[in-house]
Structure 1
Amino acid sequence: MLEGKKILLGVCGSIASYKSAILTRLLVKAGADVKVIMTQDATHFVTPLTFSTLSKNPVFSTYYKPESGEWNNHVELALWADFMLIAPITANTLAKVANGICDNLLAAVYLSAKCPVFFAPAMDLDMWIHPAVQRNVSLLESYGNKQIKPSYGELASGLVGEGRMAEPEEIVAFLQNQFSLKLPLKGKKVLITAGPTYESIDPVRFIGNHSSGKMGFALAEELARNGASVTLVSGPSAQILHTPSIRRIDVSSAEEMYHAVHQEFADADIMIMNAAVADYRPKLVASEKIKKNPSEFAIELVKTRDILSSLGEIKRDDQILVGFALETNNEEEHALAKLKKKNLDFIVLNSLKDEGAGFQGDTNKITIIDRSLQKETFPLKSKEEVAKDIVRKLAEHLS
């Protein structure tokens, strides 16, 4: 849920600020881009160098750098963020931001923020229960900010009670839950294929194609970012998944992909057949490496099983089936025939004639056609952006 999110983490002067270092590490590990803003008091507890090292970004604590005169633009920082998190937020900073007092960079960024803001209080028991503090918490919440409530336990003073900042793992889980509630594919199970298939000739050689798997992997990542539970069945590919929640099943041949997909299909809400599956395979596979003695050599080929057609025959009315068509001539005619023949809900068409589209590259140009023959054509985009267009189309269909 946090993959690719741009997060401003505000850190205030509290003993709990050591937890913010752990929190930074967890957010970065979850795929977020984190920039840290510290109050001056916070720098006495944990050094800016610690946060800079963990976040891999500069740390901000003042309006400008005296040695260079460079200005830390609070408006730009606020506009950069997808959301802001202040953890820990002390009684002092609570009072400032709740009442619009702007005497440090963190408060200035908060007052400039148009993004969602979360805050995790940390203070001693008696401070936490004071009516003034509770009033400020209520004020912050009334502005639309969300509190990550403190927990009960031993405090720095030696007292036991409420006031401990939530643990870093709890904060990450809270954020993930907040964003997952708004994701359009939340609760949907998606099965997707990617990459080529390799059809063995002998133990050394195979018949394959130029598919890299880039489009399928980009789709898997985007589906997961939109809340789907994703299973990726991949042919041989050097692509790497960056979202830990995606379940990957590696196969080699068309037959292996057929069995893997059919084993998973019944549980899927959405099936996207993006893989470039071989249409033919050698009838016989040599057990030993074939020597190159003859001047001519022929291989007898037989058809592989059509995975997409087989799924179209058994798909339920509540399942969405998406196919891809990569064509070199009569593109739309062939795509429409495939859409109807294979009982698809959508077909994604691209052409090898379009410069920048097709295998291996980082860009693609597509047309999406649905079963009612409504079509939408998109300009050349990166495969990551193409994945967003396809997922948006699915989300619109489901809504």
Structure 2
Amino acid sequence: MIRRCWLVVSFNNSITEKQYDINMLFVLFLFGVVSCFYIFYAQEMGQYNGDFYIQQMIFYVLGFAVAFTVLHFDFEYYLNLHWFLYGFGLFLLIALDIIGPHETIAPYTNGAVSWFQIPGIGSVQPSELMRIFLVLTLSAIIYRHNSRFREDRMLQTDLLLLGKMGAVVAPVIALLYRQPDMGSIMLIAAIVVALLIVSGMTYKILLPLIGGPLVAFLTFVFAFYQFPELVQRYLLSNLEGYQVDRINGWLNPFEYVDEGYQVLQAMTAIGSGQLYGNFDSSVYIPEAHTDFIFAVISSMHGFLGGAFVITLYFILLYQILMTSLRCHNAFGKYLCAGLIGMFSFQVFQNIGMGLGLLPVTGFTLPLLSYGGSSLVATMFALGMVMSVKYHSKSYFFEAQKE
């Protein structure tokens, strides 16, 4: 059989078809409605006094304004701006480390110094922005590295890329460890893993780099139950008291009731919802409007409510994935991949800790938990995703085969 192929080429190499991502904007609107509704329900539990749902509405208006502004900014410009943004985020973390703990500017809250208190604005968490700036910087590093070593890529060049990424991440990890903010460190690790997977790095590096920590984690969980005395003697005895409490509260909450109080209450609330939900608010949920908003959702509307929220997240992540696949610019692909890693891990971790499957880390549930810093930073990140679609170029190359 004779196979013939025509390559149709236009006089213009490409054309930019600017279009808003209406589907993503609609999904974000649904998240806003769901978030404000359940925050209103959560604040009725009497833990705090305040109209948090009204403030969340204001945060969403601000977040949409930020996202709409960012999507008009061509994402390729970040190739020249990422070092400035990275430096700004690093400056905020250093300033927080120098100033805190301070009663009014950088207070000691929930066992860490992670927030700036700004009069007239409220609390601002620098690590929320730093994570996004890291995604930009690491994506730019991978993009430029792969462009330089496109033809002669080898193990040595992959190790060089790994060294570049490590040099950028290390100071951020060190500053977050001093706060301490182990949740943000875990989230940055998820971002790095996602970008390493799509970077084209050889499996000889990826397997031990990703598989090693995973095996160590599973080994620790196994040893905690099978060899508790050895774990206590050689590992837990070397950790800080609050770290030991979190581990015991996670893996053995029914014995360490005080340490596992949050997990037990969240699990009770989720279980009480059953299939259709239970409108009885007698089950007290700590941090109901922030860290454990998923427990509120599952308690109020049961399994169906929780499944609806998880479906919304799947739709959002799918939209980001499709934006990445349809983008002809490698930098845009890396940018979307890093954000997919960040959001998916954050959702998995937050829901997992409410179910007692993962340790409590203080993660918010993106787009649903109350909080201005988290919400505006998330909308900023999604604005960059929409920018990738809005400014992506369509090429007039079409191959036809018979």
Q: TM-score range by the shorter chain?
A: under 0.3
**TM-score normalized with structure 1 length:** 0.24
- Structure in which a larger fraction of residues adopt helix: 2
Larger Rg: 1
- Structure in which a larger fraction of residues adopt strand: 1
**TM-score normalized with structure 2 length:** 0.24
